[in-house]
Structure 1
Amino acid sequence: MDRTQEDVTPNVDAVVAAVQSSASCLVKHEQEEAILDPQGLTAPVSDDDGQDLEMDRPLRRKRRVKGQKICGVCGDHAQSHNFGALTCETCKAFFRRNAFKQKELQTCVFNSSCSITKATRRFCAPCRLKKCYSIGMDPELILGEEEKRARLTKRDREGPSPGPKWEKRYSQSSEPQSTNFRAPILSPNSTNSTASPGSSVDSGIDVGTTAGAASTSQLNYPDKGKWCRPKNALGKHFKHVAREDLPWDMQLFWPLQAEERSLLTKLTSAYQSVTTNTTMEDLEKMRQWGSFCMEKAIFALEYSMREYVEFARVIPEFKQLRQGDQIAVLKASALMWYHIRLASDFIPERRSWVNAFGAMSEVDLGNFLGDPHSVQEYAEFCEGLKFVVKNDTTLYTLMHTLVLFDPRDSKVEDRIMVNTLKDKYLVLLKHHLESQFSFLHADRYMAEIAQQILDLRQLGESSLIFYKHFQSQFRPLIAEVFAD
């Protein structure tokens, strides 16, 4: 009996030691998991019965990075870690679409030695994907269809979030990258409460006192030519599609042809060159008047008209029109060009129009013109258009081109030709939107831009009556634009 107890005692001690060792390993393992998942959370997945199941994958949280954040793939501005590496939103979307398509991508023609930067990242998909992997992006972190359905199920079960995602995704400042834009040139109708864009620019000096102290009586604003505010000036309520909501399947995007891409690049470059080519001579002319005055407004309007003519000459199809039709379409669309330019200058966060000549706030302009309500309504129209187009230079370029080729003007002779050119650029706009937002969302953008163009046409027609009251003060170029 004593011998049996002696045999059992060592066995019990061995079992206790083994249990302690296992517990120690378990604690260590839990500590390691706590480092990866501080709150001990795992991503829930719903089964067929709607019950939550625990997945092996920990709940992924975006890691905040302090200081300057640069995309490890292209060098663009980055916001957070995506799929295991610090990248920009564009490279994040690229990796999500192409991570499992290595065999489908064409082979690099430069022996996989392409330099991937913000400017060149679209040119070589194989090298870009290779760099994604080299910085540590992990395709295993991409949610599968089952996981996405589980996330949506959980989101529906928990109810809607406090605010829509698109507000955060597109909450970046709408200030243009370049400040070389025309200033707001607005003129009111003193008897009407509807939108009243006319003319005026600040020369870069402080308008806080000069605008408020100036008298509007010297401008002799007419009572005729009442303005009509566009009925659909509600573009600021348009809901953009978030990048993360774009489809993964590249078959749902329009592949721009080489000819289409070349034309877009040419026109966009020409538009940027025309609208940012402000000379010192022009700046000096604006500054010589000092405070806010009608002479400065007329000069700025003439400057914008010269921009328009210069841009139209770059459009290949414009040269195909007979001279009479060239003049007719330019005169018919000049004010629409001008209103688009003013909308692109508008900075909603500052409630101001900003350009190379200076800045003019909505409040100062309303006080100067003596009609704050009309200025406020016109600012809302500019804000709505700016919210839809944002700072997309390509979209501004296409909108300018579409308003140019309008066959409805009475002085156009070859209406079929003009309408054919308009159709070409409508298709180009459609393909551009489909290449950016996919077939699933491009129609909404197309419809909203078409509505904005209709509003611009209405605004241009009503403002033409107003501007003609100042025709005697116009220089030859503007006088020709507003002549019958």
Structure 2
Amino acid sequence: MEVGREEEWKHADLTHRGEADSASTNPIVGADEEEEGPQICRVCGDKATGYHFNVMTCEGCKGFFRRAMKRNARPRCPFRKGTCEITQKTRRQCQACRLRKCLESGMRKEMIMSDAAVEQRRALIRRKKRERIETRPLGAKGLTEEQQMMIRELTTAQMNTFDSTFVHFKNFRLPDVLSSGRQIPEPLQIQSREEAAKWRKIREDLCSMKLSLQLRGEDGSVWNYKPPADNGGKEIFSLLPHIADVSTYMFKGIINFAKVISYFRDLPIEDQISLLKGAAFELCQLRFNTVFNAETRTWECGRLSYCVEDPAGGFQQLLLEPVLKFHYMLKKLQLHKEEYVLMQAISLFSPDRPGVVQRLVVDQLQEQFAMTLKAYIEFNRPQPAHRFLFLKIMAILTELRSLSAEHTQQLLRIHDVHPFATPLMQELFSTTNG
């Protein structure tokens, strides 16, 4: 790779705690309290631990309100003002004004559970915890500190580089028929047998790709693009610029995801590039699966929705479109976010990608991520119901590897006849996946 390309690559832009003495932890008032940042007690301003008796409060004010209501206390203000300021420092000085503040904040007496009900709930919590421990497989001792750190680093990287609302996906191109009402142009004037053969192959590649697109405007308007019933795959040429834009947006996020992982940064730049080239499509599909709605065959990406048309019926569509089948299979597993990011790490750190030099190092890292995934499943998933989940995930990753190779070849064939890929896409797909 040229030095200029390498430098361009380097700089690519790429819960509330539950309570055992409250009848409900769901807030009835204070909807604006779901803002980001640390929550504070609505009574005294101390650090809140959750919703208690309908109001976000600290443990101290929760206990004070419960005791006051249990005793049916009617304290009087010792300062005879009735308007004492209640803070973390002054809350013990005037019980009357503190109780008044509790009631004014919205705390509700009827949400206090009886002693018997509290003990019943605590017993249920203890039983659930015991059952969870008993259902773990023999030898499952939990995750090591290193494995927990791995998961935290991956989930943080995912959170910082992938927004499922696609709020930052802007300035993308739309199909001509969607943005201006113009007819779909003819894709190519075939002038030779060689070009005719290429076009036939592309028609085979696109025979099952019937992708509709919906865009919801900020003003509430809805734009729809639906491909014609039968035009031999030509409609895809109108969609190609938009597909290139959304793919490039996803690839930039994947590059940034990899760049913030310490294990990845420690590798030589040549191996980083080789691993990203090999895994870009796979990580893209894993991320897209988190926004896939299996019931509607739709990827819900914020204001944009992508739906695979299904004129032939569900079973035949699955036979025709392996990528769609993959998304159904993966979504059916109902994975946790931790399992998704570990799958991405296992895919990214594949030692047999073309061009990887430090294969042994990458192989050891991949094994660590795989063992972390196995330990996570054994510790967090009920057994024996999920005893085969790890094996299913590894089989799906193998299937995804095959899909990636075929998908890359299809993109290259289309680009050869009808150039559409962005420079980043061309760079990523310049070497065929192994």
Inter-CA distance 436–295: structure 2 relative to 1 (3 Å threshold): same
Q: 1:439 to 1:114 in 2, by over 3 A?
A: farther
Q: Secondary structure at the match of 1:283?
A: coil
Check if 1:138 corresponds to 2:25: no
> Would the aligned equivalents of 2:25 and 2:51 in 1 still touch at CA under 8 Å?
no
2:329 to 384, 405, 410: 384
1:115 and 2:49 equivalent? Answer: yes
Aligned residues: 273
Q: Equivalent residues in 2 for 1:409-420 (5 A)?
A: 409-420=353-364
Select between 396-405 and 443-452 the one with higher mean Cα deviation: 443-452
1:249-308 Cα deviation digits (max 9, x unpaired): 779653333443233122112202211187766323245963562100111111111111
Aligned letter for 2:163? T
> Between the two proteins, what is the percent identity of the paired residues?
19
Are the counterparts in 2 of residues 352 and 359 from structure 1 also a CA contact under 8 Å?
A: yes
Residue 373 (structure 2) pairs with residue 429 (structure 1): yes
Match for residue 339 of structure 2? 395
> Could you state the TM-score of these two structures normalised by the residue count of structure 1?
0.48
After superposition, give the CA deviation of every residue in 1:128-158 in whole Å (9 maximum; x if it has no partner). Answer: xxx999761427976999xxxxxxxxxxxxx
Does structure 2 retain, via aligned residues, the 8 Å contact 1:72–1:85?
no
How far is the alpha carbon of 1:376 from its aligned partner? 5.6
Q: Which residue of 1 aligns with 2:275?
A: 329
Q: 3-state SS of the aligned residue for 2:170?
A: helix
- Aligned residue number for residue 445 of structure 1: 389
Q: What are the within-5 Å matches in structure 2 for residues 215-254 of structure 1? A: 246-248=132-134, 253-254=140-141
| Structure 1 vs Structure 2 CA RMSD | 4.3
* 1:348/1:250 CA distance change after superposition, 3 Å: closer
1:481 to 404, 407, 428: 428
1:266 is aligned to 153
Instruction: Return the letter of the residue paired with 2:402.
Output: Q
Alignment check: 8 A CA contact 2:274 2:355 kept: yes
Deviations 1:292-334 (A, max 9, x none): 6210011111111111101001111111111111111111111
**Contact 2:326/2:400 (8 A) holds in 1:** no
Tell me: CA distance 1:333–1:393, structure 2 relative to 1, closer, same or farther (3 Å).
same
Aligned AA for 2:401? R
* Contact kept? 1:407, 1:418, Cα under 8 Å: yes
SS in 1 for 2:265: helix
- State the Cα deviation string for residues 188-239 of structure 1 (Å, max 9, x = none): xxxxxxxxxxxxxxxxxxxxxxxxxxxxxxxxxxxxxxxxxxxxxxxxxxxx
Spell out the pairing of 1:36-435 with structure 2 (5 A cutoff). 74=18, 115=49, 136-138=118-120, 246-248=132-134, 253-276=140-163, 282-286=169-173, 290=179, 291=225, 293-363=239-309, 378-390=323-335, 392-435=336-379
For residues 408 and 468 of structure 1, what CA distance do their matches in structure 2 show?
Answer: 22
Give deviations 1:27-69, integer Å, cap 9, x for gaps. xxxxxxxxxxxxxxxxxxxxxxxxxxxxxxxxxxxxxxxxxxx
> How far apart, CA to CA, are the structure 2 residues paired with 1:116 and 1:250?
30
CA 1:330–1:372 in 2, change beyond 3 Å: closer, same or farther?
same
SS in 1 for 2:134: coil
- Structure 1 residues 136 and 332, CA gap change in structure 2 (3 angstroms): same
Q: Deviation per CA, 1:401-448, whole angstroms, max 9, x where unpaired?
A: 100111112311111011011111112112211220267566422111
User: Higher relative contact order by CA 8 Å / sep ≥ 6: 1 or 2?
Assistant: 1
Runs (5+) with no aligned partner, structure 1:
1-70, 76-81, 89-112, 119-130, 146-241
Change beyond 3 A, Cα 1:441–1:284: same
Q: C-alpha displacement at 1:474, in angstroms?
A: 1.4
Contact residue 346 and residue 354 of structure 1 kept, 8 A = yes
Q: Which residue of 1 aligns with 2:95?
A: none
| Distance in 2 of aligned mates of 1:452 and 1:117 | 41
Amino acid corresponding to residue 143 of structure 2 in structure 1: L
Per mean C-alpha deviation after superposition, the further-off stretch among 470-479 and 447-456 is 470-479
Q: Relative to 1, partners in 2 of residues 1:117 and 1:315: Cα closer, same or farther, differing over 3 Å?
A: farther
Distance in 2, Cα, partners of 1:427 & 1:407: 16
Q: Which residue identity lines up with residue 338 of structure 2 in the other structure?
A: T
Please tell me the residue identity of whatever aligns with 2:298.
Answer: S
Please tell me the residue identity of whatever aligns with 1:303: Y
Query: 1:85 deviation in Å?
Result: 6.8
State the Cα distance separating 1:450 from its structure 2 match.
0.8
Distance 1:114 1:259, change over 3 A: farther
- 1:440–1:114: structure 2 CA closer, same or farther, 3 Å change rule? farther
Partner AA of 2:134 in structure 1: W
1:260–1:280 Cα change, 3 Å: closer
In structure 2, C-alpha distance between the alignment counterparts of 1:460 and 1:272, rounded to whole Å: 24
Structure 2 unaligned regions, length at least 5: 1-14, 27-46, 53-111, 180-224, 226-237
